[in-house]
Amino acid sequence: MMTARTLIAAVLTGGFAMAGCQSVGGASPARLSTDEDPQMERLKAGLATALGRANIEFGAGDPLGEGTVVVLPPPPTALETHSLAMPITFDLEVRGETCIAVRRDTGEAFELPGVDCTAKG
């Protein structure tokens, strides 16, 4: 029978092992191949669909170098004095020929149609 301490250690060890896995199923960390306007518009459209929002504004991130995209939360409405919403960070990956945005906080992966990514390295 497992003690509480052994169970906690096993759960933490498994969690750390899973957190270390960055690429799954043939995925490779990626970056955008260019930051030209049409490419950035396709990136915005893909992330808007993924988040179910009409408008996307990028925050500090480096999609060309590090392959990180930060999406700012929507601004507060006229009836709000402040918002507790946080930015959402995505890491770019290439799976086959497809550019994928992986949401850091949930691990959800979203295809980015028409976005050209290249593997980092």
**pLDDT tens-digit profile, the chain (121 residues):** 445 444 344 444 443 333 333 444 678 999 999 999 999 999 999 999 999 999 999 998 889 889 999 999 988 888 888 888 899 999 999 999 999 999 999 999 999 999 999 998 7
Question: Do the domain assignments include residue 100?
Answer: yes
Residue 39 Cα to chain centre, angstroms: 17
Question: Do the domain assignments include residue 17?
Answer: no
What's the pLDDT at 78? 84
Domain range for 51: 26-119
Question: Do the domain assignments include residue 70?
Answer: yes
The residue type of 43 is: L
Question: Do the domain assignments include residue 38?
Answer: yes
Q: Which residues pair with 90 in a beta bridge?
A: 69, 103
Question: Do the domain assignments include residue 18?
Answer: no
Residue 113: burial class (beta carbons within 10 Å; 0-12, 13-18, 19+): exposed
Question: Do the domain assignments include residue 99?
Answer: yes
What's the pLDDT at 13? 41
Question: Do the domain assignments include residue 13?
Answer: no
Q: Is the pTM of this model over 0.85?
A: no
Q: Among residues 71, 73, 75, which one has the least CA distance to residue 44?
A: 71
Element (H, E) at 94: strand 88-95
- The total number of structural domains in the chain stands at 1
Q: Among residues 36, 73, 29, which one has the least CA distance to residue 55?
A: 73
Question: Do the domain assignments include residue 10?
Answer: no
